[in-house]
Amino acid sequence: MFDVLSSIFRSIVSFFTAILVALGIITPSNTAEQKLVMSISIEDVSTCRSIQGGCCDGQYVYVTAINPDGAEFDNPEWTADCDETVTPKKVTKIPCVILKINPDTWSIVSKSDYLFLDHANDVTYNAANNELVICNNQPNYTTVTTVDPVTLSVKETFTVPQKIYSIVYVGSESCYYAGISGGYQVVKMTQSYTQIGTMSLSEHGNTRQGMDSDGSYLYFIYSDDNYVYKFDLSGNMVAKLELPESKNEAEFIFFRYGTMYVGYEINGRAYGGAIYSVTDIKWDEKK
């Protein structure tokens, strides 16, 4: 009797899984199951259509989005971050918004006014200070900006000792780890952004994006082939994961209650973004 019921149950699961795959809600994979939990429209991000960083404070999710062509706003002070018509290339103000999202319902709770956080390439949450920390990146690679998670307004701007493209606060060590731009090294910093040391990542992908940590490991997103690399806190690669999604560019990663989430830019900066949960992970562990 149990075998019969088990067979019926598997058939039902397979049937509904096939429907979800056909609808594009679940992406089939032999490495993980990826499920769409939230789509982010251009209207959601006030035409700041390029999704960049994302993090979670346990209760809420925060996503940064920029418009890489500020000229679309018809404001002479807002120009593109890479305007080919200007020689030399000119960078001034790049409009950005931060979304605050309730992950229980995947609905937007609030949205910041237009902020100017450069490329806003990554974001992390510092629980000790109850603040978001934005990795500004291009063109101010040595700048991070703190933001109040309640008002979504800028608090302060700090200079860090290295040019960085990603950042994560690790509460168990009361410090930051940040990916160093232009290579595959990581800088470790105190809460006041003083450099403690650097380390090289033993293996890596190519196109560097966001990062996160679960307190024991560092996780980096590489969007060339949409891989997640898992490192110990000394920079040794432990495992990697090929993400099921290959059509769109992976931008950020965060964890909530042990579940991994990945944010994607949709159709090359044209149509906002999407957040997927990643479960049933089969890590390709380093032998």
pLDDT digits (tens, 9 = 90+) for 217-258: 999 998 878 899 999 999 999 999 999 876 788 999 999 999
Residues 128-161 as b/e (b if ≥16 CB within 10 A, e otherwise) read eeebbbbbbbbebbebbbbbebeebebeeeeebe
Percent of the chain at pLDDT > 70 equals 79
Q: In the predicted model, is pLDDT for residue 116 greater than 80?
A: yes
Residue-wise pLDDT for 61-112, tens only, equals 999 999 876 545 555 555 544 444 444 444 457 889 999 999 999 999 999 9
| Most confident segment among 5-9, 155-159, 221-225, 267-271 | 155-159
In a domain, 154, yes or no: yes
Q: What phi and psi values does residue 12 have, to the nearest 5 degrees? A: -65, -45
Confidence at residue 74, expressed as pLDDT on a 0 to 100 scale: 53
Confidence at residue 263, expressed as pLDDT on a 0 to 100 scale: 95
Confidence at residue 3, expressed as pLDDT on a 0 to 100 scale: 37
Tokens 């562990």 sit at which residue? 285
With cut-offs at 50, 70 and 90, classify the pLDDT of residue 30.
low
Domain range for residue 235?
Answer: 25-285
With cut-offs at 50, 70 and 90, classify the pLDDT of residue 269.
low
Kindly report the number of other CB atoms within 10 A of residue 99's CB atom: 25
In a domain, 36, yes or no: yes
Confidence at residue 6, expressed as pLDDT on a 0 to 100 scale: 36
In a domain, 144, yes or no: yes
In a domain, 201, yes or no: yes
Confidence at residue 85, expressed as pLDDT on a 0 to 100 scale: 45
Q: Which of these, 248, 244, 245, lies nearest to 266 by C-alpha position?
A: 248
In a domain, 155, yes or no: yes
Between CA 97 and CA 42 the distance in angstroms is: 11
| Average pLDDT of every residue of the chain | 84
Confidence at residue 75, expressed as pLDDT on a 0 to 100 scale: 56
Confidence at residue 92, expressed as pLDDT on a 0 to 100 scale: 59
SS3 per residue for the chain? CHHHHHHHHHHHHHHHHHHHHHCCCEECCCCCEEEEEEEECCCCCCCCCEEEEEEECCCCEEEEEECCCHHHHCCCCECCCCCCCCCCCCCCECEEEEEEEECCCCEEEEECCCEECCCCCEEEEECCCCEEEEECCCCCCCEEEEECCCCCCEEEEEECCCCEEEEEEECCCCEEEEEECCCCEEEEECCCCCEEEEEECCCCCCCEEEEEECCCEEEEEECCCCEEEEEECCCCEEEEEECCCCCCEEEEEEEECCEEEEEEECCCCCCCEEEEEEECCCCEECC
In a domain, 255, yes or no: yes
Q: How many residues does the chain have?
A: 287
Structural domains counted in the chain: 1
Confidence at residue 13, expressed as pLDDT on a 0 to 100 scale: 44
In a domain, 143, yes or no: yes
CATH number, domain containing residue 162 = 2.120.10.30
In a domain, 5, yes or no: no
Top pLDDT among 23 and 199 is at: 199
